[in-house]
């Protein structure tokens, strides 16, 4: 059998339930960005998850930043209060990693390529 736990109620009489978040992995391998272009990653729908980790590698270390964008509806996207507030830094090896707490239901990465050549990115994410 399962573990019995006392019921919790809100002050307005609504029953509170526990939800165990499941780890969900995704990727966008072979994401290419032409020289002089700005591109966005696949939209990540957060569902019931509140944390996301982005990681991967790029063959372009000339450009240092990925920006995280947020959306309520998948149409209008925002970078938050400061244009550079959420940035993933690419190391000299081309590897990158960042973990964020996400409130809106959708998130994506955007990147500008000014390296002089087409950029190839392998992007992975894990939602928890």
Contact 112/34 with Cβ under 8 angstroms?
A: no
Q: What is the torsional sign of CA 40, 45, 51, 57?
A: negative
* Per-residue pLDDT, 63: 87
pLDDT at 27: 97
Percent of the chain predicted with pLDDT > 70: 88
Closest CA to 26 of 9, 14, 49, 42: 42
Q: In what order do the strands lie in the sheet with 95-101?
A: 24-33, 119-127, 51-58, 95-101
The whole-angstrom separation of Cα 106 and Cα 99 is 15
pLDDT in tens, 51-95: 999 999 999 999 889 999 999 999 999 987 666 678 899 999 999
pLDDT band at 96 (very low <50, low <70, confident <90, very high): very high
pTM comes to 0.79
């Amino acid at each position: 059998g399962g573990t019995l736990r006392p019921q919790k109620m809100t002050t307005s009489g609504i029953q509170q339930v526990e939800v165990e978040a499941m780890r969900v992995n995704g990727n966008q391998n072979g994401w290419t960005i032409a020289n002089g272009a700005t591109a966005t990653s696949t939209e990540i729908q957060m569902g019931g998850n509140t944390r996301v980790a982005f990681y991967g590698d790029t063959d372009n270390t000339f450009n240092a930043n990925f920006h995280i964008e947020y959306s309520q509806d998948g149409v209008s996207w925002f970078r938050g209060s400061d244009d550079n507030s959420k940035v993933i830094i690419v190391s000299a090896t081309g590897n990158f990693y960042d973990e964020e707490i996400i409130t809106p239901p959708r998130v994506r990465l955007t990147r500008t390529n000014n390296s002089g050549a087409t950029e190839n990115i392998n992007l992975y994410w894990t939602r928890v």
